Amino acid sequence: MSQPWTHRLWVIRPLAVLLAAAAIGFVLVSRFGGGEDLEARLRTASEADLARILSGVTSEADLLRDEISTLRLQLRDLQTSTERGDAAEEAASSRLTALSVLAGTVPVEGPGILLTISDPADRLAYEQFVDVIQELRDAGAEAVAVNGLRVGAGSAFAGEDGRLLLDGRPLKGPYRVEAIGNPETLEGGLEIPGGVMDSLSSTSQVAASVGRRSKLQLPALLRHPTFEVAEPAE
Residues 16-75 pLDDT 10s: 444 455 555 555 554 445 445 555 665 665 666 656 666 656 666 677 777 778 888 888
The CATH number for 109-218, chosen from 3.30.70.1880, 3.40.50.720, 3.90.1010.10, 3.30.70.100, is 3.30.70.1880
Q: What's the order of all strands across the beta sheet hosting 108-118?
A: 149-151, 143-146, 175-180, 108-118, 207-218
How many C-beta neighbours within 10 Å does residue 114 have?
A: 15
What percent of the chain is modeled with pLDDT above 90?
36
How much is the pLDDT for 10? 43
The answer to whether residues 24 and 57 touch, using CB atoms and an 8 Å cutoff, is yes
Eight-class DSSP state of 75: H
How many C-beta neighbours within 10 Å does residue 45 have?
A: 13
* 85-102 confidence digits (pLDDT tens): 777 777 777 777 777 777
CA separation for the pair 99, 94 (Å, rounded): 9
> What ranges do the domains of the chain cover?
3-98, 109-218
Confidence of residue 219 (pLDDT cuts 50, 70, 90): very high
How much is the pLDDT for 79? 78
Cβ-Cβ contacts under 8 Å for 188 (sequence gap 6 or more): 139
What percent of the chain is modeled with pLDDT above 70?
73
